[in-house]
Amino acid sequence: MDYVRLGNTGLKVSRLCLGCMTYGSPAWRPWVLDEAAAEPFFKAAIEGGINFFDTADMYSNGVSEQVTGKWLREFSRRSDTVIATKVFFPHGPGPNAGGLSRKHIMEAVDRSLKNLGTDYIDLYQIHRFDPATPIEETLEALHDVVKAGKARYIGASSMFAWQFAKMLATSEQHGWTKFVSMQPQYNLVYREEEREMLPLCKDAGVGVIPWSPLARGFLAGGRAKPGEGNTERARTDEFSPRLYYRDADHAVVDAVEAIAKARGVSNTQVALAWVLRNDAITAPIVGASKLHHLSEALAALDLELTDDEVKALEKPYQPKPVLDHS
């Protein structure tokens, strides 16, 4: 496993991050694995050299954080792991249960610490941009979270580049803690972040840890239409059809399959190798509901695509509207 700096920080993370939305409570989503079923994935990730784990307070309504914390305590030392979680989406009823107000951030970070069973969060991220809250309020609250020792670094997730640039500039202006990472959606069938967000992050020295590098499993193949696939998530995921399944997206999958077959590897390895090839990317966040998903993701680290293969993979792409920034 290679370890790289997260943006301009001194923090070193593995080139893959294990996404922990898959682990928590199946009562939240039918494809989620419970605590016992999640155990071997954390064990295999640690054994594979992964030290970077991403969850959120909304996943399984906090149970994902609990499961993540339990198994990381079991299989690793706290000083050896980099734990990331997120805040924004509502966590219960009430007008202040979500968003990025000072009130919600301060309550949410304490709840996440309790769920994770840790004294600090390595990377505390805003899950989305909150247009209803002044960015100064959000940024000062995050700064105070860091200064209180509850988080080591702060990061952000899907938003428009102008919004992120404004937040970075405001932090600079006030001398507040700056974002060190951005977590956008980025994969072979969603490349809109190449226009502005990825160049902005490279210029600002911000690490990029993309979510859904396999397009929620769509790039793994076997999905001619929604509701098909060899996993419970593929068959029941209501979110994927809003993002993918266009004709051009299927053409991209065909290109992935052709190269995978020629190389004697899986679609997963090819699709992840393409993401990892981009020098703006720090560590893709990979999900795994079967152990071979994790082993294939680890194998992708050793796969180098040729320039001709990259051209073949990128040729079918058709631009699409910006998706899931709210």
Dihedral sign, Cα of residue 70, residue 149, residue 172, residue 204: negative
- In this structure, the strands spanning 151-157 and 82-87 are unpaired
Rounded Cα–Cα distance for residues 106 and 10 (Å): 26
Rounded Cα–Cα distance for residues 277 and 11 (Å): 21
The CA-based angle 103-105-108, given to 5 degrees, is 105
Rounded Cα–Cα distance for residues 187 and 197 (Å): 14
Q: Count of CB atoms within 10 A of residue 190's CB?
A: 23
Rounded Cα–Cα distance for residues 255 and 309 (Å): 9
One-letter amino acid at 62 equals G
Task: At 15, list the tokens.
Answer: 């080139």
**C-alpha dist (Å) from residue 235 to 137, 214, 218, 238, 292:** 41, 16, 11, 9, 18
Catalytic member of 59, 186, 190, 244: 59
Q: In sequence order, what are the beta bridge partners of 281?
A: 208
- How far, in whole angstroms, is CA 120 from its chain's centroid? 20
One-letter amino acid at 127 equals H
Q: Note if 190 is an active site residue.
A: no
Helices (H), the chain: 35-47, 63-75, 102-116, 135-147, 161-174, 197-204, 232-236, 240-243, 247-263, 267-277, 291-300, 307-314
Q: Is 185 helix (H, G, I), strand (E, B) or coil?
A: strand
Q: Looking at the annotation, which residues are catalytic? A: 59
